[in-house]
């Protein structure tokens, strides 16, 4: 499928709006559950793990919370793991939920 410039920009803007809505929703839920300081930040990057680490450092986060799909062996090698990358490269503590 080929999109022209206008369609590409519109699709990107829709994706940005959806991403912001999602993180705003998570922030609202966290605040309702008693989290004292919850912020929603949307960052675009081709290197997800590095973007998470840099954002946590820049925002002086106390902890990074990430999910793990629990893939093992060959599937993990093929797909990689952003969680593993963050876990092994971040100086900020990482809590992995499975």
Phi then psi for 71, rounded to 5 degrees? -70, 145
Say whether both 77 and 33 belong to one domain.
no
Say whether both 22 and 58 belong to one domain.
no
Say whether both 11 and 53 belong to one domain.
no
Question: What domain range includes position 59?
Answer: 46-98
Per-chain mean pLDDT for the chain: 87
Phi then psi for 64, rounded to 5 degrees? -110, 130
Separation CA 11–CA 97 (nearest Å): 31
Q: Closest by alpha carbon to 57, among 68, 49, 47?
A: 49
> Which of the pair, 38 or 73, is modelled with greater confidence?
38
Region 60-80: mean pLDDT is 74
Structural domains in the chain (count): 2
Say whether both 28 and 63 belong to one domain.
no
Which pLDDT tens digit goes with each residue over 15-36? Answer: 999 999 999 999 999 999 998 8
At residue 80, the pLDDT reads: 61
Instruction: State pTM to two decimals.
Output: 0.72
Q: Which helix (H) or strand (E) holds 33?
A: none
Say whether both 52 and 89 belong to one domain.
yes
Say whether both 25 and 68 belong to one domain.
no
């Amino acid at each position: 499928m080929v999109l022209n410039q206008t369609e590409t920009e519109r699709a990107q803007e829709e994706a940005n709006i959806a991403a912001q809505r999602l993180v705003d929703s998570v922030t609202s839920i966290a605040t309702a559950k008693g989290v004292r300081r919850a912020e929603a930040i949307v960052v675009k990057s081709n290197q997800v793990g590095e973007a998470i680490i840099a954002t946590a450092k820049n925002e002086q986060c106390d902890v990074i919370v990430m999910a793990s799909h629990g893939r093992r062996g060959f599937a993990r090698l093929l797909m990689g793991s952003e969680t593993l990358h963050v876990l092994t490269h971040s100086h900020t503590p990482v809590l992995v939920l499975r």
